[in-house]
Amino acid sequence: MKRNPCFSIAVGCALIMLTGCISGSSDALSDDRSGDAVNFDGPWAEEFSSHYQRAENDFVRSVLEDGEITELEYSEVQTRFRDCLAGSGIELSEAQAGGSQELTFPESLSTDEVHRVSSECSAESGEAEIASLYWWMRYNPQNEDQAAAVVACLLKAGSVPANYTVEQYRIDYVEQQVPLLDPERGPSELSRCETDPLGIDR
């Protein structure tokens, strides 16, 4: 059976505009689960609370309720996500740094069907609520201003003009038009800085 690569799943996009990605949903759900409230603390408390309120099953809530996500828990989420997708003939690649992954699926499935199955499996396995938080916390443990960290990284690498600002980066990020000075080395530096701006893995 012939298989086609479909699209990449990336959680890194939420790093830059984090508040915009998650705000607005927790209030709508808080009334439904007010009896399940958990008091989180630490730099990522607001995000844990929001994701906990959105969680669709007890497994996801059990992972989130202590305000930490271990490597073992993340691995379990990935296994559940992969097994769920496999039930529809969809293969999931190993996660790259930052959480991006590729789906491969048979020609008999349309991209709309793959997107639907992926969304359902993501919610069921906990990937939707846990994977993003895992990577955010890994590369930004203190929940610092991500855009500012990315720009500082780009400036240090000499990848953008010396007068490049955080405000301009927020605009360029959305439009995917960051003004890289070196067309050959720039894209890889941009990817590195957006994934790991603080140099956690260096």
Q: Over the stretch 97-133, which tens digit does the pLDDT of each residue have?
A: 888 899 999 999 999 999 999 999 999 999 999 999 9
The count of other CB atoms within 10 Å of the CB of residue 126 is 27
Q: Over the stretch 143-193, which tens digit does the pLDDT of each residue have?
A: 999 999 999 999 999 999 999 999 999 999 999 999 999 999 999 999 999
Domain range for 125: 3-139
Query: Do 24 and 68 have their domain in common?
Result: yes
**Residue 169 belongs to some domain of the structure:** yes
* Global pTM value: 0.76
Query: Do 117 and 152 have their domain in common?
Result: no
Domain termination residue (choose one: 114, 139, 164): 139
**Residue 80 belongs to some domain of the structure:** yes
Q: Over the stretch 62-100, which tens digit does the pLDDT of each residue have?
A: 999 999 999 999 999 999 999 999 999 999 998 888 888
- Number of structural domains the chain divides into: 2
Query: Do 34 and 74 have their domain in common?
Result: yes
**Residue 200 belongs to some domain of the structure:** no
**Residue 201 belongs to some domain of the structure:** no
Domain termination residue (choose one: 139, 156, 179): 139
**Residue 39 belongs to some domain of the structure:** yes
Q: Over the stretch 20-63, which tens digit does the pLDDT of each residue have?
A: 333 333 344 444 454 457 899 999 999 999 999 999 899 999 99
CB 77 within 8 A of CB 11: no
Query: Do 151 and 98 have their domain in common?
Result: no
